[in-house]
A and B are shown apart, each in its own frame.
Chain A
């Protein structure tokens, strides 16, 4: 069987997965694994192993209910809805235990030193970048979750306002107000963090 080309839409690939075409599933994994990893990594406070588990769970849940998918509903929105629910479940469990997701500061700073082409003379810049990343991620964990979600979806995952509205079942106007208030709050939190 020929592998599905890049021109095939996600929705057509989802239909192919419904028919049991493994190559279509592989293509969807190729398209969505990294974006979902990025989304979930940020949503759970820079915890990579947890984000990887949630990415796997997102794909498993998609596959288990693939027969529920009806063409031509946007597939991307469905995948993000699943990922978002898993991230929310994670927060709900964390709240239940009265522990909140915290940023893995060591890992985050370490990762900035593992960039390809790292040179010792870049050390200061790398440390500065790592500390800035840490400040941003810490500020995100202190945002209300409804504001954090829209900012992540809009500025990191590059979803349109309409897509976010559909995904969260809220009007576009509410998406905009959450973005505006969220960004204001983020800036205030970053000012408190006093990033380098």
Chain B
């Protein structure tokens, strides 16, 4: 290697090395020279043109989404910061989720009405299709509100001035609020068709399970990472609960009633408490994110660090 006095100068790097490490002029020059040896390629005009072409299609979609958002309601929300937060997060929540929820809940309401016995023993609210669907629809919506591969927490935090736990809470509030409204509308519709059904009994049967299952899906999506496991576990749990309520013979000696009746009013306070705990745990987990966002960093720390 050349002696430091005849090495070409890399003034900016040398100055940074002196400033950061207190390195001497000679050693900073030598080090800057070494670092500069590893040159990186530059993008050519052809590379830039190719990238711009690739981005053009994506840009079109972004503009369409923006124009769809321009409504008087959006204008009002802009002037109120929690509203602005909800609005920005509403853009991030997948558009197909609310549509799928509306479709499933609509079908659930229709089946509930169509399958209602005209005479004889009336089914308990806990086994009605509407009541069985409402919690799982909400949970699946929440499971998809955060996908770590496409939407890492650190990018959310860097892009927005709002603390990231608050951003996640805003998304949760949006999806849960939407499903709550949908559940209420479906219950009102079902009760309007079937005078024997009480709206209060219907709502009591799905509300606490919905809160619990939503909290569970939120926790699993954030702590375990991604919608896949969250969706699967919620479906298994709720499937078990649904099977418990139905008179299906237990396969291979499984005892479905082992699970408590989640739709009973007595389970309500426990389910709400569990929901709050799960959401709190998820937010706490997201708040202490650094070591988990870069687990490889933590793993490679040594006593020298």
Chain A residues packing against B (C-beta within 8 Å): 17-20, 22, 25-26, 29-30, 33-34, 37-39, 41-42, 46, 48, 51-52, 55-56, 59-61, 63-70, 73, 77-78, 81-82, 85, 88-89, 91-92, 95, 111, 129, 132-133, 135-137, 140, 144-146, 154-156, 158, 161, 166-170, 176-181, 183, 187, 190, 195-196
Contacts and interface: CB of A to CB of B under 8 A. Distances in A.
Contacts of B156: 68
A155 B160 contact: no
A152 to B, nearest CB: 10
Interface of chain B, helix or strand or loop or mixed?
Answer: helix
Contact of B155 (A30, A85, A183, A196): A85
Given A34-B42, A155-B35, 16 more contacts: A25-B59, A33-B43, A33-B48, A46-B38, A56-B51, A63-B62, A68-B91, A78-B159, A81-B155, A89-B149, A136-B34, A136-B38, A155-B13, A169-B154, A178-B305, A183-B17
Contact of A158 (B12, B17, B37, B149): B12
Interface string B122-160: 000000000000000000000000000111101111111
Contacts of A132: 1, 34, 37
Contacts of B43: 33-34, 37, 55
B20 A176 contact: yes
Interface residues of B, number: 60
A25 B52 contact: yes
A146 B59 contact: no
A10 B54 CA distance: 21
Contact of A67 (B32, B42, B47, B91): B91
Contacts of B294: 88, 145-146, 168
Interface stretch (B113-121, B242-250, B295-303): B295-303
